[in-house]
Amino acid sequence: MPAKLSVNLNAIAMLRNRRDLPWPSVTGLGRIALAAGAHGLTVHPRPDQRHTRHSDLPELRALIDDEFPAAEFNIEGYPTEDFLSLVEANQPNQVTLVPDDPAQPTSDHGWDFTAQASFLTPIVRRLKKGGFRVSLFSDPDAEDITAARDTGADRIELYTGPYGAFHDDPDAAKRELDRLQKTADAAQAAGLAVNAGHDLTVANLPALAERIPHLAEVSIGHGLTADALEYGMAGTIGRFLKACGW
């Protein structure tokens, strides 16, 4: 089965937040995306709420519950107590833990699973006890995958930013694909499912999907939102689903 498509709504929220106005509607565009065939919605509510606001989360949870019960809700972020409480209040299907500093403009690296095992393991245990699937943001580093598994997580999410950054350098992009595939294969062998996200586009998704046929999910925000300015949200979802292999 091709990778499922989860639409990251942060770029839409950031555009809305430029003005004290309710548009573009984060929930409204989430509805369009799901109606067009997206499999889920992703948000990354940072502490300063510069992207998705805390008040968006219950609206998105209700949207999925009331109109698209087969879709999934993914909340990602750094696991402070405030974040964990936000997760527990809004009941996502999946929680993706990301090693972000609050000041970072966007996620730009994965966890050091070996060094941070004692930090991550009790958090993963708490989330799984709450009934959430847990995914850990991961650099393409096959050597650290056993430590990721040992935290008790269900999945990793491969950080594909370096792959996306080489959009104009095919040889470098191929080297990144090699690293991503090697890490994905190691994760599968360790019993972890594999997600991917960051700077994925209609142009670079097919090669990733071909190299990692067991890819479970891709979470895409910036490139998808940029495409939606040209093709509309519904048309863009169709383009990305095709790029995933649907």
Instruction: Give CA–CA dist 13/175, Å, rounded.
Output: 34
127 CB burial (10 A radius; 0-12, 13-18, 19+): buried
Go through 188-219 and write b for each residue having 16 or more CB atoms within 10 A of its CB, e for each that does not: beeebbbbbbbbbbbebbeebbebbeebbbbb
Q: What is the phi/psi pair of residue 44, to 5°?
A: -130, 85
pLDDT for res 106: 64
The catalytic residue positions are: 44, 76, 198
Tell me the pLDDT tens digit for each residue of 38-75.
999 999 999 999 999 999 999 999 999 999 999 999 99
How high does pLDDT run on average in the chain? 95
Reported confidence tier of residue 102, pLDDT bands at 50, 70, 90: low
Q: Give the predicted TM-score (pTM) of the model.
A: 0.96
In order of their start, the domains of the chain are 4-244 (3.20.20.70)
Tell me the pLDDT tens digit for each residue of 113-171.
999 999 999 999 999 999 999 999 999 998 999 999 999 999 999 999 999 999 989 99
Tell me the pLDDT tens digit for each residue of 183-221.
999 999 999 999 999 999 999 999 999 999 999 999 999
- pLDDT for 101 beyond 80: no
